[in-house]
Amino acid sequence: MGKIDVTCHSIDFYNDDFGGNSIIEILNKLEDYNIILASIGPKTSAIGAYIAYMHYPAVALCYVPCSKYNVDYCKGIGKGLDYTFTRGANK
């Protein structure tokens, strides 16, 4: 059976890029790996994950029902967000 190595990072998903640039910095160091990215934090982390995916389309995005896997899952932060995605724009 193969070895599984898991590393956790603390990322601010409430900043201007929703954590996307922080995820990209981490992915820059992991070029020799198969990467599956899932958002299990605040809803804005899904935006950061998608920004990273737009920069690295070889990364796989995975849906995880957050409330079943994160005991500290956020139930909402208030008003909705409006954001436009452009491939390669958030480097």
- 56 within some domain: yes
- 79 within some domain: no
Q: Give the structural domain span for 60.
A: 20-69
Check residue 27 and give its pLDDT.
87
pLDDT score of 63 more than 60: yes
Query: How many Cα atoms within 13 Å fall on the side-chain side of residue 50?
Result: 11
- 42 within some domain: yes
- 37 within some domain: yes
- 76 within some domain: no
- 77 within some domain: no
Work out how many domains the chain is built from and give that number: 1
pLDDT score of 45 more than 80: yes
- 11 within some domain: no
Tell whether pTM > 0.75: no
**Lowest-pLDDT range, 18-22, 28-32, 81-85?**
81-85
**Angle formed at CA 42 by CA 44 and CA 8, multiple of 5 degrees:** 105
Query: What would the pLDDT profile of 25-35 be if each residue is shown by its tens digit?
Result: 988 887 677 78
- 46 within some domain: yes
Check residue 1 and give its pLDDT.
65
